[in-house]
Amino acid sequence: MENLKAVVIAIILIVVIVLLFMFKAEEVSPGITDTEEVTPGVTDTEVLIGNIQDLSGPMAYLGGELKHGAELYFRHVNESGGVYGRKIKMITEDHQYNPAMSLGAAKKLLDQDGVFCLFNVIGTAPATALFDLVQEREIPLIAPATNASTMSNPFKRYVFATDTPYDAQGRIMSNYIVGRGDTDIKFGAIYQDDDFGKDCLKGIREGAEAHGIEVVGEEPFQRGGAPEFGPQLTSLREAGATHIFLALVLETVHVLKTAEAMGYSPQFLGFAPASDPKVAQAAGTAAEGFITNIYMVPPSHPTHPSAVLYRELLAKYDPEHTPGFYNFYGFAGAQVLAEGLNLAGEDLSRERLVSGMEKMKDFKGSPHPSITYGSIDRAGGTETILLQVTNGAPSPITGFVGEG
């Protein structure tokens, strides 16, 4: 009887040990030991990234174009075998250009969808709203869709900007105006009264100061209000403004048309968000002579490899879609992220993505002049191409130029 008891106890102990082993095995993913961390959003066959755009707010057209362009390049990467065999899958949330909604969308992507990183969030304020979150959780935010200088200055370990900042664009355009021989210059500005507009305004002021130019008026515009610019233009005309910087996006069209109707024709200059050909098309004859700038080659560039590939893929996958700057911008950001994933190596983690991005030196596999990062450098690009509207379309009037 005692022997039978011993046998029963031994069997029970064996069962308990087996059950404990099975329970432990369920806690650990196949092929991962107890001491290894599971990286959210990464499997042997897929990497999941989170994208936050304005899809139904004031910049819905731009957000939709960015999303479409990024998906176009990721489709190409996936059909070419992915990155180390992993297909890139992008989940997009809508923030309606609202910073609070942007933060909520990021938390949803991280906590519910389990994305690996965040990518190409549109807008200065919506991207800025994520700074604390990505720092606290150590989440890479790659290629935010804004040229704000605050994306890279001050340094933020997990945020990698790609574009020449707005303030630098203002200084570069000021240099161009002086360099081409304009005289008796008086600057004016109409600016979006938020982080984007104020960053542009900073560059306008600094450019003016560098050349001893007077800024005779700075007229704010509140996003969400009626796009009526008659009072601002009247004020600037009375102040004698000869060159007016427009730190606006789609509202640029309204300013140009209103000025034409008033018979007021200063030299208008715009920042990169207004360089999309659709802005010139919508403004019609009022856009003639309008100068803007772009921090990458235009999608129509005849020979640049990124522009050629973009047009080929658009013709292949979506021939009805009209090529455009913002569509190409999303495509460009996707090229930078894909290269970062490649440089991170096959054993992918968030920290290895950061290290991979920091290894990027003089990268020319996107439409940017080149992209370089370092251990304390997150700025990406520093140059821009100036464009001027001629016969209804923006055309380059310089190559890539910096502040020097």
The enclosing domain of 69 has a CATH number of: 3.40.50.2300
Dist CA 183 CA 244 (whole Å): 14
- Whether residues 275 and 336 fall in one domain: no
- Whether residues 272 and 206 fall in one domain: yes
Write out pLDDT tens, residues 206-241: 999 999 999 999 999 987 767 889 999 999 999 999
- Whether residues 96 and 193 fall in one domain: no
Closest to 163 (Cα-Cα) out of 176, 152, 175: 152
- Whether residues 145 and 223 fall in one domain: no
- Whether residues 267 and 396 fall in one domain: yes
| Widest CA span in the chain | 112
Percent of the chain with pLDDT over 70: 91
- Whether residues 390 and 267 fall in one domain: yes
- Whether residues 110 and 140 fall in one domain: yes
Task: State the average pLDDT over residues 167-179.
Answer: 97
- Whether residues 306 and 325 fall in one domain: yes
Residue 8 has pLDDT above 70, yes or no: no
378 part of a folded domain: no
- Range with the poorest average pLDDT among 5-14, 231-240, 310-319: 5-14
- Whether residues 83 and 201 fall in one domain: no
16 part of a folded domain: no
18 part of a folded domain: no
- Whether residues 255 and 395 fall in one domain: yes
Task: List CB contacts of 146: < 8 A, sequence separation 6 or more.
Answer: 121, 122, 123, 124, 127, 163, 196
Number of structural domains in the chain? 2
Do residues 259 and 283 touch, judged by C-beta distance below 8 A? no
34 part of a folded domain: no
- Whether residues 252 and 310 fall in one domain: no
Dist CA 292 CA 169 (whole Å): 9
- Whether residues 156 and 177 fall in one domain: no
270 part of a folded domain: yes
Write out pLDDT tens, residues 40-78: 999 999 999 999 999 999 999 999 999 999 999 999 999
Token pair 């938020």 is found at 194
Task: State the average pLDDT over residues 171-194.
Answer: 97
Whole domain around residue 141: which residue ranges? 46-164+301-368
Task: State the average pLDDT over residues 268-286.
Answer: 95
